[in-house]
């Protein structure tokens, strides 16, 4: 105990000399005043950090504003064909979906499983025009459907093809399906 007090009193009797991190390798020590080099770095870096924070904060709220409304205004959405897909434990029911180009659809997704599932079809989403892009949320390539939740997606298919549909978190368990656009 005595050795500890002796070493403590010796070290505390010296005047403090601090070095800032940019100057730590210099042979000339900085006094206790603020280092001009590090404050210059803060002045240069801070506006960039503030701009980055602003862009990140504005991104999700402005995403819909940047998405142009591409759906033809003369489409009768009241008569859109309804296609229902149920997500249960590790499968889509039905597991084969078929759509025709130019026809308005309302895809009704319901999650009756025991976990959160998503409707992930990045190539399919590139081949359709969405009436309600906000259903995609921040992802733009999938629709997340929570437990006992339902979501509707209104769209018109614009490009023919065959597209893979997966639940991004459960594809390893076989939660996949096929979408065909004729």
Question: What are the residue ranges spanned by the domains of the chain?
Answer: 80-181
pLDDT of 158-168, one tens digit each?
999 999 999 99
pLDDT at 77 over 70: yes
CB burial readout 76-113, b (16+ within 10 A) else e: eeeebeeeebebeebbbeeeebebeeeebbbbebbbeb
Percent of the chain with pLDDT over 70: 60
Interatomic CA distance for residues 132 and 108, integer angstroms: 13
The answer to whether residue 47 scores a pLDDT higher than 70 is no
Task: Tell me what the mean pLDDT of segment 76-97 comes to.
Answer: 95
Structure tokens at 73: 């205004």
Per-residue confidence (pLDDT) for residue 36, from 0 to 100 = 54
For the segment 107-114, the average pLDDT, to the nearest whole number, is 96
The topology under which CATH files domain 80-181 is Immunoglobulin-like (2.60.40)
Residue partners of 180: CB distance under 8 A and separation at least 6: 96, 97, 98, 99, 161, 162, 163
Beta bridge partners of 111: 87
Mean pLDDT of the chain: 77
Residues 124 and 97: beta-carbon distance below 8 Å: no
């Amino acid at each position: 105990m005595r050795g500890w007090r002796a070493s403590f009193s010796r070290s505390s009797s010296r005047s403090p000399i601090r070095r800032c991190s940019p100057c730590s390798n210099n042979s000339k020590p900085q006094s206790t005043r603020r280092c001009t080099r590090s404050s210059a770095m803060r002045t240069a870096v801070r506006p960039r950090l503030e701009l980055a924070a602003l862009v990140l904060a504005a991104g999700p709220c402005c995403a819909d504003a940047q998405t142009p409304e591409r759906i033809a205004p003369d489409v009768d959405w009241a008569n859109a064909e309804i296609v229902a897909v149920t997500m249960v434990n590790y499968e889509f029911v039905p597991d084969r979906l078929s759509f025709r180009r130019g026809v308005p659809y309302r895809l009704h997704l319901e999650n009756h499983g025991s976990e959160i599932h998503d409707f992930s079809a990045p190539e399919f989403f590139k081949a359709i025009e969405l009436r309600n892009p906000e259903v995609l949320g921040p992802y733009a390539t999938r629709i997340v459907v929570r437990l006992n939740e339902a979501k509707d997606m209104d769209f018109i298919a614009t490009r023919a093809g065959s597209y893979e549909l997966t639940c991004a978190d459960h594809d390893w368990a076989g939660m996949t399906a096929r979408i065909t656009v004729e």
